[in-house]
Amino acid sequence: MKVQDFLDHHGIGRNPFAEEDAQTDPVFKEHCIDSTYHPTWDKVYGDPAEPASAIVFGEKGSGKTAMRLQLARHLEQYNRERPGRRIFVIHYDDFNPFLDRFRDRLGLRHKRADKVLAQWKLWDHMDSILSLGVTGLVDRLLDVRQPSQSVHCEIDS
C-alpha cells in the first residue's frame, strides 16, 4: 500500500511526517507547539523570572527549531502578561551573515568554509550576539520603521 493510499483510507489529508523543519510544519504549528515539548524543555526554558542563557545543539531533526519556536512563543506570552518584568530576547539562530563578513575580512587566502570556521572563535559569537542586541535596542529607542527582527522587546515611551 502506498503512503498516500494509507492516508486517504484513514481520512488524513496531509502526511504529518512530510515536513523536516518545525518552522514550515503545519502539523507542529497547529497541534503541537503549545502542548508537546522536547524532553529537555524545562531545563532550557527554565524560569523566565530569573532568566539565563541557553544554547541548544543537536543533529538535524532533533527538535532544535521546534524548541526555538516554542521558546519564542512562551517568552512573548510571558512579556505580555508581565509588562513590568519583561525579558529582552535576542534570537541568534543564523550566524551566516556574520560568518560572511568575517570571511570577507580574512582575505582571499581563507575562502574555504572549513578554514573560516577554524578561525571563528567564541568571542566572535559574543560580538555577533551583542551586535544584534544593541542594534535591536537602538532601533526601538529611535523608533525605526523596520527594527531588527532578531530582538524582541517593547520600549515604553
DSSP string for 91-127: -----HHHHHHHHHHH-GGG-SHHHHHHH--HHHHHH
Is-above-0.85 flag for pTM?
Answer: no
The full DSSP string for 13-71 is -S-TT--S-GGG-HHIIIIITTT---TTHHHHH--TTS---------TTSSHHHHHHHH
CA 25 to chain centre: 15
CA distance 85 to 71: 17
How many residues can be counted in the chain?
A: 157
Q: Per-residue confidence of the chain (157 residues) as pLDDT tens digits?
A: 787 888 788 887 777 666 677 887 877 888 788 888 888 999 999 999 998 888 888 888 888 889 999 999 999 999 999 999 998 888 888 888 999 899 888 876 667 888 888 889 999 999 999 999 999 889 888 988 887 777 776 666 5
